[in-house]
Structures are given as structure tokens and as C-alpha cells.
Chains A and B, each alone.
Chain A
Amino acid sequence: QSALTQPRSVSGSPGQSVTISCTGTNSDVGDYNYVSWYQQHPGKAPRLIIYDVSKRPSGVPDRFSGSKSGNTASLTISGLQADDETDYYCCSYAGTNTFVFGTGTEVTVL
């Protein structure tokens, strides 16, 4: 169960788009369409923002979108806002009812 690989940090100016990658293996990301993404502000619990690779829970702005190609999933934040500046984690089902999280990415709004 090795952690999925995410870039340590990404940055963008307000209004721009940023994309966070999440690279796993053909035993997790590549094998299942059960990738979810979480936003976590400092000292707070994580918040679900994407599930099943690309679906958004109600209440999550459509500025957040997800996709997957092979063993890599991606989260794109469009129209970057100041409140988007925080940490993001991907998570994938890894078979046999086990899960693996990504290493986490800090988004900075310049």
C-alpha cells in the first residue's frame, strides 16, 4: 500500500486554472474508477470534492473537476480563488476493500 504520488505544491494566479496529478499503479488508480479527492484546510477535517473520478457532490462548485488516464488521476481547479489555497488529497480504492491516499498537494494562490 504505497501512497499515491502527488506534486508537493502547485500555484496559480486568481482566475487561472491549476491541475494536480495523482499517480498510482495498475492495482489502484489504473484498475478502478473509485478515485476521490479531498480538500483540507489547516486544522480542519477533509472535505469530499470529487468522487468516482469525476463526479461532484452537491454543493461543490463546478470549478472543481476530475479526470483519469491510465494510472494517473487529475484534479483541475478553474477560476482559482483565494479560498482554494489549501491542501488537496487524492484517494483510490486499491481492491479487497482497502484504500490508499495520495501524498498531498498544497495549492498556493499567487
Chain B
Amino acid sequence: QVQLVESGGGVVQPGRSLRLSCAASGFTFTNYAMHWVRQAPGKGLEWVALIWNDGSNKYYGDSVKGRFTISRDNSKHTVYLQMNSLKAEDTAVYYCARDPPRSRTSYYYFMDVWGEGTTVSVSS
């Protein structure tokens, strides 16, 4: 079945780095753009990053721009989120989600399948 499974979360000190992974299965991964979305404890959803299906373009939310990097390995059906210079306010559950293709050059711009999330806690 269609599935996204995040991993790599944990407790990390401020200023340190962490890399999250999201393994996809059950669908043609190379057709889909992929998002990372996070949710701080007791707070709402926040869009973090988007990567196109071929990895050629990447986009970020303002709060993570310059610190986080999204990437993907289509041979491994996996998308990554490299998080550097972590801050306490990055503490959240991080979800990956897929975005279906609308045409050869654009996407639907919604998230139709989500993983269960991985928890990141930034604390000294």
C-alpha cells in the first residue's frame, strides 16, 4: 500500500545538526514532488520545504531558509531533510507528504499522503 515512513528524529542540542529521512513505498516515487511539514507541540501545521520529483528545484519556508536543506534519492525512494543550526523553536513533529503531478511541469499543490511523523526536540 501507499506509505511514507519518517525516521531520524531525536533530541539534539541547540546549534547542532540532524538529518531526517522519509522512505516511500507503494507508488511511483519519481512522479511526485515531496514536502516536509512540521507541527510544534500544541501548535498548528507549518510548511517547511518542497522538492520537485527530479530534485531539480527546492523551496523553503522563511523560518528555515538557509539552515535546512531538502534532498531526495530517487534510487532509494527516499527524501531527506538536513537540519543545521537547530534552534529550540525547531522542536516539532516533522511530517513528509507527497504532492501529485498535475502535468509534466506542475503539481497539484496539495499533500495527499502523509507519513506518521518523526519527533525532533532541540534542547540543551
**A interface residues, Cβ below 8 angstroms from B:** 1, 3, 32, 34, 36, 38, 40, 44-48, 51-52, 57, 89, 91, 93, 96-104
Task: Contact check, A48 vs B111: say whether CB atoms are below 8 A apart.
Answer: yes
The 10 closest A-B pairs by CB, nearest first: A36-B110, A45-B114, A104-B44, A99-B47, A34-B109, A97-B59, A51-B110, A101-B45, A93-B109, A48-B112
Given A34-B109, A91-B110, A103-B44; A97-B116 close (CB under 8 Å): no
Q: How far is the CB of A7 from chain B (nearest CB, A)?
A: 13
| B108, CB-defined interface residue at 8 Å | yes
Interface residue from A45, A52, A101, A103 paired with B117 (Cβ < 8 Å): A45
Q: Is B85 an interface residue (CB 8 A)?
A: no
Interface of B with A (CB < 8 Å)?
35, 37, 44-47, 50, 57, 59-62, 95, 97, 108-112, 114-117
Count CB-based A-B contacts (< 8 Å).
66
List chain B residues, Cβ under 8 A from A44.
116
Indicate whether A104 sits within 8 Å of B45 (C-beta atoms), given known contacts A52-B108, A57-B112, A98-B59. Answer: yes
In Å, the complex CA distance between A91 and B99 comes to: 13
**Whole-angstrom CA separation of A48 from B115 in the bound complex:** 12
Q: Contacting A101 at CB < 8 Å: which of B47, B60, B116?
A: B47
For the complex, what is the distance from the CA of A48 to the CA of B44, rounded to whole Å? 15
12 A–B contacts from the bound complex (CB under 8 Å): A34-B110, A38-B111, A44-B116, A45-B114, A46-B37, A46-B97, A47-B114, A51-B108, A91-B45, A97-B59, A99-B50, A101-B44
Q: How far is the CB of B85 from chain A (nearest CB, A)?
A: 19
Cβ of A99 and Cβ of B62 under 8 Å apart? no
Which residue of chain A is the closest to B115 with respect to CB atoms? Answer: A45
B116 and A45 contacting across the interface, CB-CB below 8 Å: yes
Q: Are B44 and A102 in contact (CB under 8 A)?
A: yes
